[in-house]
Amino acid sequence: MIRILTVIGARPQFIKASVVSRAIQAADGIEEILLHTGQHFDANMSAVFFDQLGIPQPDVQLDIHGGSHGVMTGRMLAEIEAVILREKPDRVMVYGDTNSTLAGALAAAKLHVPVAHVEAGLRSFNMHMPEEVNRILTDQISDRLFCPTDTAVRNLEAEGFRNKPVQILQVGDVMQDAAMFFVRHAVAPHELPSELLTTEGHGSSPTKREGDPSFVLATLHRAENTDDSERLTAIVNALNAIHRALAPVVLPLHPRTRAAIERTGLILQTHTINPVGYFEMLWLLQHCGLVLTDSGGLQKEAFFFGKPCVTLRDQTEWVELVEAGVNELVGADQARIEQAAASHFGHTVQDHAELYGGGKAAERIVTHLLQRE
Ligand code: UDP
């Protein structure tokens, strides 16, 4: 029996790990110990995903959140180390690029426990992003590098990983697995204004037909935007202007962004709602006419649902979407955001190339985990 210790702690990691956990449960010869660091702890940032996605309750629940990056990562490192010593896993598995990712990988590597990194090889080439630091360091100490895209493989090759005794495995993107598997449960968020619900099944606006693009779906939480008042102001102004002139903007607001907006004294005039569960997010993706975001995950989910994306960043790790012309990077420039939103709203985009593996990533990951060497 192969024992895997999975370390997760933040919203996107719950979604990614849910599909791999299910594939582990369906396989023989492998068992998972689930550790939640506590990095995200609000019910609507954590518990809702465990409930909706059927993730087993964590075997180990830590309570580490807040504080500086150093304090948070350091506390996680110490506590995860103790868990590894106690549980003696054959391997530690980490996801993505958060402080939980780095702490889990580092604790394992120092104890000579091999590390598998899901979402290896992604790069923004911006070392000011905490996520970039976390993912580069995590890749350096992992020996199974599960890459979601060909670009990610090329990034690792450019950094010399082919000369290291590690396995670089292009398995596709677990987020596509999640979107494809859970879409049948999509449900409208209860906080959504009734005029945005389509007629079918909801009986609200008689003028709106099922399939009409009715709103812009926006999310905002990257530190580069929330912690820079100039960028935050430009983005909030753009969202307000789009809401007034183009289409209603639905904004499930991340707690960090809510705090930053309150601090800065900005006023959002959009349909601002609390963070939603994954099933509600899938509904918003199905029904929107455009995604406006600085999230990594949302850029791809827009594509999975045939929606164009305007990205509120200067770089992206998902460059294949920009190359395919379905994602436009506009940074935090108010005029560019408004122009791009107007030119993409309501268009449909298509996945001709199966860029993200077609929903089989979790299965492939488990097949590789079952191979000891
Ligand atoms: N998400 C969600 N509810 C929300 C906002 C995001 O379920 O209110 C989901 C989203 O669909 C995606 C994941 O959370 O699957 C992305 O997480 P986030 O944007 O926090 O992180 P990133 O992808 O930028 O690392």
210 & 234 share domain: yes
Q: Does residue 178 form part of some domain? A: no
195 & 147 share domain: no
Q: Is 297's C-beta closer than 6 angstroms to any atom of ligand 1?
A: yes
Is it the case that residue 204 has pLDDT exceeding 80? no
Report residue 54: phi and psi, to 5°: 65, 35
333 & 225 share domain: yes
Q: Does residue 256 form part of some domain? A: yes
Q: Does residue 36 form part of some domain? A: yes
Is it the case that residue 199 has pLDDT exceeding 60? no
In this prediction, residue 139 carries a pLDDT of: 98
225 & 135 share domain: no
Q: How far is the CA of 149 from the centre of ligand 1 (A)?
A: 19
Percentage above 70 pLDDT, the chain: 96
71 & 125 share domain: yes
Q: Is 39's C-beta closer than 6 angstroms to any atom of ligand 1?
A: no
Q: Does residue 95 form part of some domain? A: yes
* Three-state secondary structure readout of 305-355: CCCCEEECCCCCCCHHHHHCCCEEECCCCHHHHHHHHHHHCCCCCCCCCCC
Each residue of 227-237: pLDDT tens digit? 999 999 999 99
Q: Does residue 179 form part of some domain? A: no
Domain that holds residue 328: 184-344
242 & 306 share domain: yes
Q: Does residue 361 form part of some domain? A: yes
255 & 167 share domain: no
Each residue of 280-289: pLDDT tens digit? 999 999 999 9
What total number of domains does the chain contain?
A: 2
129 & 63 share domain: yes
201 & 306 share domain: yes
Q: Is 197's C-beta closer than 6 angstroms to any atom of ligand 1?
A: no
Q: Is 89's C-beta closer than 6 angstroms to any atom of ligand 1?
A: no
Q: Which of 65, 221, 254, 344 is catalytic?
A: 221
Q: How far is the CA of 297 from the centre of ligand 1 (A)?
A: 6
CATH number, domain containing residue 256: 3.40.50.2000
Is 221 among the catalytic positions? yes
Q: Does residue 161 form part of some domain? A: yes
Handedness of CA 45, 288, 231, 132 (dihedral sign): positive
220 & 332 share domain: yes
15 & 157 share domain: yes
361 & 298 share domain: no
125-139, 140-154, 211-225: which has the minimum mean pLDDT? Answer: 211-225
CB-based burial label for 7 (10 Å; 0-12, 13-18, 19+): buried
Helix, strand, or coil (residue 68): coil
In this prediction, residue 209 carries a pLDDT of: 54
Ligand 1 atom at minimal distance to the Cα of residue 278 = 7
Q: Does residue 351 form part of some domain? A: no
Each residue of 51-97: pLDDT tens digit? 999 999 999 999 999 999 999 999 999 999 999 999 999 999 999 99
- The better pLDDT of the pair 354, 158 is held by 158
Each residue of 215-271: pLDDT tens digit? 999 999 999 999 999 999 999 999 999 999 999 999 999 999 999 999 999 999 999
